[in-house]
Structure 1
Amino acid sequence: MSEVNDKVVIVTGGANGIGAFSVEVFIENQAKHVAILDIDTISGFKLEKHLNTKYGDGKVKFYKCDVSIDDQLFGAFNKVLDSHGYIDVVVNNAAVSLENSLERIRRLVDINVTALVMSTLKAIEIMRVDKTGKGGTIINISSIAALKQFCPSVFVYCGTKSAVLQFSNCIGKQEYFSKTGVRVITVCYGPTDTDLVPLMINIDDSINPEIRSNIDAQKLQTAESAARGLLEAYKNGASGSTWLVFDSKVTEITSNIDRAYDIMSENFTK
């Protein structure tokens, strides 16, 4: 079991929703420090003040950061490293869901996939034991959108979460973990009461009423229960494992993922 105490943690998209609760859950469990990376300065500084008042000065620091801009993302990592000397945990939580224009779709891919990949690679570079690091954990946030072929849906959002799942599973496998000492865990959230839900709007207006109806029919878990599920995955997950947090219940689904890929690849592998 992996413990949280004395860990230095980065949470992207940490100013609101699941990210904000994740920040507090780590602090509650005796993390040394949590850095919040987000573009929302009002919520970010407010959360920093609230948690430092509640748990002690210096426990949390907000960094204004657009994760899709490498200079800002890597700059924030370097500031945390300069302040604390090491980074133990990176939670790649930042995501958007709105895809009602080509511009929005490009940004969705930039944030949900490209930024997550760059953050993961930067974290491995810092933490890998075969270089100058001491190991660590990366938790990449996917979704049930990666586990089922929903239609009609926010297709690009679903595609980005599938990309997160595949990337994280592969880079987290034992063959690579044995070289780096950096765990990579995937957490798939079920329907959760966050600001992303109302913004699940497709560029094709003709299917939005059905998408909205399907979403409205779902029972939403709280953002806090999702964050607590993430902590359970952190404590118990092996590198390359996948965890589902659905209806406030936490289940490891690694064997399901492995079985699905065995089926998909059965025509070209032995």
Structure 2
Amino acid sequence: MFNIEGTVAIVTGAVDSIGRDIVNSLLSNNAKGVALLDANDAQAEEFQASLDKEFGAKKTLFLKVDVTDFEKVKDAFKKCVDHFGNLDIVVNNADIIGNIEMVIKINLLATIQISNFAFFDFLPKYRKGKEGVIINIASVVGLYPSHMLPDYSAAKQGVVAYTQALGVNGRYENAPVKVMALCPGVIDTEIFVGVPEYYQQFMRELDFICQPPGVVGKGLIKVLKEGSTGSIWVSKKNEPAIEFKYKSKTFPILRKLVS
């Protein structure tokens, strides 16, 4: 079981509602520090002040970073290690709905670039314990194609596939860094404000069971403690996160096709 106490994490999209809950969950489980990466600094000072009050000063480091600017991301990783001394957990949470190009750049491309950088360059060198962890926040539409948000669904399916590919056991045996994904159901956030009008009709027809952002933080802690590398987890209907096991169905098909 992964021990969160004394670890340092980087969380992207850390100032939005889901990001805030992830940060709070990590600190509540005795993480030593969390670097908050976000392009929006409007509420960062207020958020850090609330964290200082609850968990004590110097537990967080805010870095204004656009995750599509990879040079700035690499610089943020270096500043995190310089500030806290180690790095053990990377959570890719930055997320957007709306402009198709930005959906792919932020939700998929940035997740891949940041995970690669964490996996190959930083976590093996700067982790405190025996293993590092990368958790990619995907979505249930990364498992079940959504007619409502086809571009968003495609990006999240890419995140799921990438997580499984990077997180194979063979890689873990050579470099002890676990790579996992958490796929929440619909979360009650402001992200849907950005949904294009031509998708709004589909949203109005569906009876969503919206979950509070808090389910993601709880799910993330469960995945950290219980998840194995390459595993995909689902959090829906306000229930505890469960592992989504479909490898047994997909892998035999792949083997048959390539044999």
TM-score with structure 2 setting the length = 0.93
Aligned-residue offset at 1:132: 6.9
What are the equivalent positions in structure 2 for 1:52-131 lying under 5 Å apart?
52-98=52-98, 104-124=99-119, 125-128=121-124
Q: Is the 8 A contact 2:185 2:235 kept in 1?
A: yes
- Please show how residues 158-197 of structure 1 align to structure 2 within 5 Å: 158-197=153-192
3-state SS of 2:160 partner: helix
Structure 1 residues 144 and 260: alpha-carbon distance in aligned structure 2, compared to 1, 3 A threshold: farther
Give 2:251's aligned amino acid. Answer: D
1:244 corresponds to which residue?
234
1:52–1:59 Cα contact (<8 Å) kept: yes
* Counterpart code for 1:265: L
By how many angstroms is 1:265 displaced? Answer: 2.3
**1: CA distance, partners of 2:194 / 2:248:** 33
Aligned counterpart in structure 2 of residue 137 of structure 1, from 133, 136, 140: 133
Question: Kindly tell me: are residues 167 and 96 of structure 1, through their superposed partners in 2, closer, same or farther at Cα, counting changes over 3 Å?
Answer: same
Aligned counterpart, 1:208: 200
Task: Please give the residue correspondences for 1:16-35 in structure 2 after superposition, counting only pairs within 5 Å.
Answer: 16-35=16-35
The separation in 1 between residues aligned to 2:102 and 2:192, in whole angstroms, is 17
Q: Which of 144, 148, 168 pairs up with 2:144?
A: 148
Structure 2 equivalent of residue 101 of structure 1: none
Q: CA deviation at 1:3?
A: 1.8
1:259 aligned onto 2:255: no
Identical pairs, percent = 26
Structure-2 change in CA distance of 1:5 and 1:238 (3 Å): same
Q: Please name the residue that 1:225 is paired with.
A: 215
What CA distance in whole angstroms lies between the structure 2 residues aligned with 1:244 and 1:263?
Answer: 23
Question: Matched residues in 1 for 2:8 and 2:81: separation?
Answer: 9
What value does the CA root-mean-square deviation take over the aligned residues? 1.7
Q: CA deviation at 1:251?
A: 3.9
User: 1:88 offset after TM fit, Å?
Assistant: 0.5
Aligned counterpart, 1:51: 51
Q: Is the 8 A contact 1:192 1:220 kept in 2?
A: yes
Structure 2 residue identity aligned to 1:192: I
Provide the rounded CA distance (Å) in 2 between the counterparts of 1:225 and 1:64: 26
Q: In 2, are the aligned partners of 1:18 and 1:226 still within 8 Å (CA)? A: yes
Which runs of no fewer than 5 residues in structure 1 stay unpaired? 99-103
Q: Deviations over 1:108-164 (max 9, x none)?
A: 111001111111011111112xx675631000111100111222x111100000000
TM-score normalised per structure 1: 0.89
What letter corresponds to residue 222 of structure 1 in structure 2? Answer: P
Q: Distance in 2 between matches of 1:141 and 1:222?
A: 15
SS in 1 for 2:63: strand
Q: Is the CA contact 2:234–2:244 (under 8 Å) kept in the aligned structure 1?
A: no
Q: Secondary structure at the match of 1:66?
A: coil
User: How many residues were matched structurally?
Assistant: 256
Separation in structure 2 between the aligned mates of residue 219 and residue 197 of structure 1, nearest angstrom:
14
Deviations 1:190-210 (A, max 9, x none): 1111121332326xx2x5312
The match for 1:4 is: 4
CA distance 1:133–1:21, change in 2 (3 Å)? closer
Q: What CA distance in whole angstroms lies between the structure 2 residues aligned with 1:149 and 1:117?
A: 20
Match for 2:202: what amino acid?
A: E
